[in-house]
Structure 1
């Protein structure tokens, strides 16, 4: 399947997270912990079946490290929303669109496309409008909220980059999500308990919403995105994930009866246009032959020689 479609489908699952978090009525630390804990009963049997079929997961330490960054992101993002408001918080966490390509260039020497650099301010402006920034003022502590939001965006970008690197050349899907979920749960407890506190008994209604959050945002969303990231350029993957706030506007209107204003609709249009422009030609051809690139080149050279040799 086209990895761009997988990312869009994963973004759709994750975009419901804010709605489910709001309906649960719990703190950011509590939501981060239960988002991970309630995903384990599904991820563990999937990972065991996958291990039996495809063998043990290599680069498991990278998956756990990625999960630690995800847990930090989840707690910081919630703290940012409380202090600076949802609009600015949504923009700040999406600095991942810059962080992921920068890391890919610094570590892997992967250059972004020509269309990406001029599209970045357009994308962030569109996210700002889609997040309702035009109609909301700052929160009670905007400076601290912006620092938390920027930290969440950097941690989120690091998580995406490590997930992309760890998934290269491997067919595992459930095992990396399980390992990163364990890391995220540990980080949410380590950061959330001393800072915000984690309510381990939030009540049955809240647990129901948190279970839905775990299935959509943690299991389905990250398994789809994790399957696609190694097959996409870093800039295109980060750009397509900006569709999350756009889809959140759509689901908010469909599920909660929210009515997006003209500025939000314009922002959604900008993000979609930028995602389309930067997503063209962004798919890495997948190697299903079991051979490396040099071997494939030798084979193709031999085939070419066979076709051109005069009998």
Structure 2
């Protein structure tokens, strides 16, 4: 069985590989993606509680996740075999972009707030479908283009740069720049992660992504973003929590589900991440977004919802293609 991707025929994941990835995850990709996004949403708050440098946080959240991921990858390899060596390049590139996203985003947390930095970085809802259109020729729903200006206005309002004293971070302008740059890395990472899962062996690919991200984060931390080899037990405890809920559970679910959903559907579901982060930021950290910032969050979510609903009717195939 095969499914169309931008004019090409890509073989559907074989039953054995579906079993290796988990039957429930592969049968219900929408729910898997939603649960993965919500699992990732807690990382902003946990990183704020860890209070470490971006380089330290990015390295340890990957390194602490590797033992569990290596065990999962080894089990998958015994069942379905090793993934081809030529795919390592894709995994390494995805890992480098993931590291760039983490470093820039962690830097933005203190500058524009935990919840809002996550909202800003999720302009991926624009970039990922455009990448899929440009590279894979995946149709973009018309409503996507209609709602794009509203979505961008929402991102600007959410940043807090339009009002005096209306931000919850220390430097909203720098935070906005760092979050937008993180969004570029994030979008590239999501696109490559989705592509890497099209032929199965997702756990092995994702483990290589996280290993690559750890190496890049360590190098960037030593050169620019700061790295503390011994951040203390308290910080390590919070970073272990990030590794467990985000790297091991959240992103692995996203990596497994994303190839089975259309690009705009997966991008919309990932907007559950900023929603969860804003709620947790208010409850746990005492952040109080202003009305304009909340309105920006609303514009982002309404736009994304409208684009998601319009996608399948415009392209005519979105409902049948089991892709992210």
TM-score of the two chains, using structure 1 as the length reference = 0.81
Q: Deviations over 1:47-86 (max 9, x none)?
A: 1001101211242331221011100111122334455666
Match in the other structure for 2:147: 119
CA distance in structure 1 between the partners assigned to 2:322 and 2:169 by the alignment: 45
Match in the other structure for 2:252: 223
Shift of 1:26: 0.5
CA RMSD of aligned residues (A): 2.8
Q: 1:193 to 1:39 in 2, by over 3 A?
A: same
Match in the other structure for 2:167: 136
Match in the other structure for 1:76: 104
Shift of 1:147: 4.2
Match in the other structure for 2:186: 156
Do the aligned residues in 2 keep the contact of 1:90 with 1:127 (CA within 8 Å)? Answer: no
Deviates more, 1:196-205 or 1:85-94: 85-94
Selected match of 1:108 from 136, 145, 161: 136
Q: How many residues align?
A: 285
- Gapped runs of 5+ residues in structure 2? 1-26, 313-317
Shift of 1:267: 4.3
Deviates more, 1:28-37 or 1:227-236: 227-236
Corresponding residue SS for 2:215: helix
Shift of 1:101: 1.7
Do the aligned residues in 1 keep the contact of 2:114 with 2:281 (CA within 8 Å)? Answer: no
CA distance in structure 2 between the partners assigned to 1:5 and 1:270 by the alignment: 24
Selected match of 1:50 from 71, 76, 81: 76
Superposed structure 1 runs of 4+ greater than 6 Å apart:
none
Match in the other structure for 2:222: 193
Q: 1:260 to 1:217 in 2, by over 3 A?
A: same
Question: Is 2:36 the counterpart of 1:27?
Answer: no
Do the aligned residues in 2 keep the contact of 1:14 with 1:244 (CA within 8 Å)? Answer: yes
Greater C-alpha radius of gyration? 1
Shift of 1:116: 1.2
Shift of 1:269: 4.1
Do the aligned residues in 2 keep the contact of 1:127 with 1:245 (CA within 8 Å)? Answer: no
Shift of 1:112: 1.1
Corresponding residue SS for 1:211: helix
Do the aligned residues in 1 keep the contact of 2:91 with 2:196 (CA within 8 Å)? Answer: yes
CA distance in structure 2 between the partners assigned to 1:28 and 1:38 by the alignment: 15
Do the aligned residues in 2 keep the contact of 1:87 with 1:136 (CA within 8 Å)? Answer: no
Do the aligned residues in 2 keep the contact of 1:73 with 1:156 (CA within 8 Å)? Answer: yes
